[in-house]
Amino acid sequence: MIVMTAPAVKAFPLNYFGIAFGLTGLAGTWTAASDALEINRVAANVLWLVALAVWLVSLVRYFRGARTARQVLTDLEHPVLGPFASLAPTTGMLYGAALSHYAPTAGRVVVLVMFVLGLGVATLFFTRLLVRQRDIDQLHAGYLLPTVAAGLIGGQSLATVGLPELGYGSFGVGILMWLLLGALLLGRLAFRPALPAALVPTLAIFAAPPAVGGNAWFALEGRPDLFQHALLGAFVLLILAQLALVPTYARLPFGLGFWALTFTTAASGTYGIHWLAATGVPGADVLTVVVLVLVTAVIGWVAAQSVRLVLSGAGRLPRRPRPVHGRTLRSPDREPVPAGHARSATE
């Protein structure tokens, strides 16, 4: 009897969307620096195009591997990698905001479409937290992405395309969820077993909200105010903690999970550039260049190491199980590797 099987396909783990997310952050830092230094945005625009290409390729690779709506839903509900799904529409909001500087109507449409998609992912994520019991040891800083990061970046993007009223609402969601999930996350990190090595780089995400929120507040309000100063205080504390964690990161074997460091790095650099421009401190231009070089060096290092890893074969994509008449066929030499398997988180 001949059994018909579908060919095995390579899964695209959801945390790999962090690559495009980090590159958009770098493009955003270059954009902020170009504006502050009053220079041409050519380099920033090139980075936006590179990031856009990576994002589009990531979407194609993911949906080529997922194939069915049921598989997409399964990936979204994965307790470890599911939260990273929100990076796809959140990154899209940033592209729309960047596009709006050259094509306002098109940029607004992109932001609105991606905002609605992000809202759908955030709603699914939040309702699952309410009704699905899970092991608290599976909690990691990536849980801040679907509601906190998406909400704050939504506020920034909506303000950029001329929709500040929606932007304030999105910003409010981000701040609320930062307070709720941030406290829960700190409790898990402080009183439960340490994160597995593959998830340690996600600790960088824990420091992102004040920088991302601060950038959004600059987009919404412009000049610094009392609330912006409060965000700055939180930012300083969390960034100092990240600097103290550098030896911990340095001891880890490199994996594609290190892209979790990149958007926090970029958002922090952008936030610093906004403050330098807003306050006009002596030597602001020189300090802006220093910040830009540091952010580019960190993300450039992660990108270079990622290329080296992929070329070595260690960063290859895992394979999904092959369906046989609705069932999973186990490969003779390995267990089936669903999207979001622990192996994916280590690469």
Q: 19-37: per-residue pLDDT in tens?
A: 999 999 999 999 999 999 9
Model pLDDT, residue 316: 66
Which stretch of 6-10, 77-81, 96-100, 133-137 has the lowest confidence by average pLDDT? 6-10
Model pLDDT, residue 338: 36
Average confidence (pLDDT) over 90-114: 97
Tell me: pLDDT of 332 over 90. no
Average confidence (pLDDT) over 129-151: 92
Architecture of the domain made up of 14-346: Alpha/alpha barrel (1.50)
What's the pTM?
0.87
Residue ranges of domains in the chain = 14-346
pLDDT band at 346 (very low <50, low <70, confident <90, very high): very low
Model pLDDT, residue 67: 83
Model pLDDT, residue 58: 95
Average confidence (pLDDT) over 298-304: 96
Rounded CA separation 295/29 (Å) = 8
Q: 52-83: per-residue pLDDT in tens?
A: 999 999 999 999 988 888 999 999 999 999 99
pLDDT band at 320 (very low <50, low <70, confident <90, very high): low
Model pLDDT, residue 323: 45
